[in-house]
Amino acid sequence: MTLVNSADPQAPVIDANLAVALDALLTEQSVTRAAARMHTSPAAMSRTLGRLRRILQDPLLVRAGQSMVPTPRALALRDEAATVVRRLGALLTPAADVDPATLRGTLTLQAADLVGAALAAGLLTLAGQEAPGVSLRFRAEELEAGPALRDGRVDLEVGAIDHVDPETRVEELVTLRMMAAVRPGHPLTEEPLTPARFAAAEHVAVSRRGRFTGPIDAALAEHGLGRRVAVVLPGHLAALSLAARSDMVALVPTAPPDAGPSPLTEQASVLGLRLLDVPLPLPPVAIGMAWHPRHTSDGAHHWLRSAVRRALRARPSV
C-alpha cells in the first residue's frame, strides 16, 4: 500500500507495507521468522530490512552470535511500529455489523402521506423493539429527492420512485394495483361496475402538483370516455377522508389479488371505505425506496432499510 500526502506533493511517498515489515522485524528479531510472518521469502525480507536501514539511517537489527539484537533506535520504535500497524488494520478492516440497540439519533424519511401513515406505526414498533435510541422524522414530498438525498436532508425516500439522480440507489419493495374507494352504500356498489358507470361518477384526484389527469384518464380515453374530477387534493389521506363523507370516488393502491393485505389500505379500512375493482387495464404501481450510495454500508441506514422492508410488507393491524 502506497500513501501520498495530497496536501504536500513534495513530501516523501509513504509505503505502509514498510511499517508492517518493521513491526514484524522488531517483534521477531529475525529475518527468517519475520519473512514467515509476512508470507514472503527471507531474501525479500532481507532486502526490506536494507531499505528500512537506509530510510531510518540506523542498522535496526545487528548480529550477536547466532541471533540478532535490536539497536536502541529499534527499541524506541518497536511500540510505535506495533501501534501504527494495529491502527492500519483497524482502518482497512470492514466495519463490523452495528447493534441497532446502540444507535442514537434521528433518521429522516420522505414519503407521500399514505405511505408515511402505513410505515409510521410499523417503524415505531420495530424501533422500540430493536433501536430505542432512534427517532424518526417523516417529511412530505416537498423536496427534490436527488439533491435532498445527496446533501443529507433526507436519509431515505419511500414511494413511487421516478425522479432520481443516476448515482441514487433504488430498491423495489412491493408492486400494487389501484382500486376505487367509495363510502358504504355508494351508488357504484349497487350494480356491477362498468367503465361507463365509473366514468360517470364524480372523482377526487390526488396530485401534489395539482394535476387533474393521470393513467386512469388514458385508460378511459381508450373506451371513448372521460371522467369529471371535481377536486384535486395533494394527499391520499385527505382524498380518502372526502370519499368517506361524500359520493366522491378516490383511488387507493392495494395489494394484488394473490398477495396478502397491504398496510397502504389500512387507512381506507379505518374509514370504512369499500374497495372496488376498477374495470380498466391500469399499470401497476411500484413502491420502492431510494438512498444516496454513501449510506449503503452505514449501520444505521442498513437497519432503517431493513425496517422499512419489514414494515411495508407486514399485514395491517386493522
For 82-114, the pLDDT digits (tens) are 888 888 776 666 555 778 899 899 999 999 999
pLDDT number for residue 97: 73
| Confidence check: pLDDT of 7 > 70 | no
- What is the pLDDT of the chain when averaged over all its residues? 87
Query: Among residues 254, 246, 307, which one has the least CA distance to residue 124?
Result: 307
Q: What is the reported pLDDT for 157?
A: 94
| Per-residue confidence band for 268, with pLDDT thresholds at 50, 70 and 90 | very high
The beta strand positions in 105-196, using DSSP E, are 105-111, 134-139, 156-159, 169-182
- At residue 15 the predicted structure's pLDDT band, cuts being 50, 70 and 90, is confident
Tell me the per-residue pLDDT of 131-159, one tens digit each, with 9 for 90 and over.
999 999 999 877 666 688 888 889 999 99
Q: What are the start-end ranges of the H helices in the chain?
A: 16-28, 31-37, 42-56, 72-91, 113-130, 145-150, 195-200, 215-221, 236-244, 266-270, 299-312
